Amino acid sequence: MKQILILLSLVMGFTSASAQSRTINVGDATLSYELKGEGSPLVLIHGWAQDMSIWDEQVPEFARHYRVIRYDRRGYGKSTGYSDATADAEDLRLLLDSLGIRSAMLVGLSAGSRAALNFAVAFPDRVKALVVYGQAVLPGFTPAPTGPTPVMMFRDIAQNNGLDSAGRALMAHPLTWAPSDRPDVRARFAALWKNYSGRDLLEPQPESGRVPHATVDQIARLRVPTLVVSGDHDLPVFLAVGDTLVRRIPGAQRLIISNAGHGAHFASPTQFNAAILRFLEKVSRPR
């Protein structure tokens, strides 16, 4: 009997310490996601041309305190379907519902932060805290930038010259800026592109409009603890958007990570992790 209890304890310990990979059908797509840790739910949302692996340096640390959920957004990584930014918030709702999670803390990077903001505006009672990181331009942001967005530019290159050419353009773009002595950060961006299907560039589909994009005016009505994060070498317009979010969202805090760009959590994972955990600790006591 004692041996059985010991074995059961070991199995339970392994299960709680190891990540659990699962999928969920959300109607017109299947999302791949992973669970690790226990405690208050914390959702990590990746950006464009990425997948859940961008959080590899965050999950082990965060899972010591929280129940961490990370997933591949539709059209990326192992998830199916077409990329649709207006479906991301509904996908997240269905994912949380399937796990019996009423409310969660959200951390989103770039397009992932857009998904988090769309979710927070559409379902405000389901968000305990927001970490908005590397946010791109929102509807209603002024002065509105002119010309094509980076993604539109890469789409043009991919359709006219191929996906490899678009990848080379991305690696030469400020979006993938990294300190000169950090080839490992550049390697992370290159590896992400290698695993990226490029389907949203080569076969773009119209947005469904399932959950409208949050506007600058709408985010001003949010009443949720918010941390706005940027690398100091991110695109100037993204830094300006971050400043706007801090001014508009009541009580929002600002974090600038030095010597880092759009991949600040790659360049400075220790600083990034510590800052996020300090912020979240004020919202939900770790287990």
Residue by residue, DSSP assigns 94-132 as: HHHHHTT-S-EEEEEETHHHHHHHHHHHHSGGGEEEEEE
Tens digit of pLDDT at every position of the chain (287 positions): 444 333 333 333 334 467 899 999 999 999 999 999 999 999 999 999 999 999 999 999 999 999 999 999 999 999 999 999 999 999 999 999 999 999 999 999 999 999 999 999 999 999 999 999 999 999 999 998 888 999 999 999 999 999 999 999 999 999 999 999 999 999 999 999 999 999 999 999 999 999 999 999 999 999 999 999 999 999 999 999 999 999 999 999 999 999 999 999 999 999 999 999 999 998 866 44
Q: Give me 29's structure tokens.
A: 């797509």
Each as own residue / partner, the long-range contacts of residues 246-252 (CB below 8 Å, 24 or more positions apart, any chain) are 248/216, 248/219, 248/220, 249/219, 249/220, 249/222, 250/220, 250/222, 250/223, 251/225, 251/226, 252/226, 252/227, 252/228
Given the structure tokens 């041309």, which residue do they identify? 49
- Calculated CA dihedral for residues 46, 199, 150, 211, nearest 10 degrees: -60
Q: 171 near 187, Cβ under 8 Å?
A: no
β-bridge pairing 67-71 and 104-109:
unpaired
What pTM was computed for the model?
0.92
pLDDT of residue 215: 97
Cα gap 129→183, rounded to integer Å = 33
Residues in the chain: 287
| CA-closest candidate to residue 54, choices 95, 104, 107, 14 | 107
| Residue 285 confidence (pLDDT) | 63
Choose which CATH entry (3.40.50.720, 3.40.50.1820, 3.90.550.10, 3.30.460.20) describes domain 2-281: 3.40.50.1820
The conformation of residue 176, written as its DSSP 8-state character, comes to G
Structure tokens at 268: 């400075």
Task: Of 148, 140, 147, 106, give the one whose Cα is nearest residue 221.
Answer: 140
CA distance 105 to 278: 13
The Cα 41–Cα 105 span in angstroms is 6
Q: CB neighbours of 159 closer than 8 A, spacing ≥ 6?
A: 201, 202
Evaluate the omega torsion of the peptide bond into residue 204 and state whether it is cis, within 30 degrees of 0: no
Note the pLDDT of residue 283.
83
**Number of neighbouring beta carbons within 10 Å of residue 191:** 11
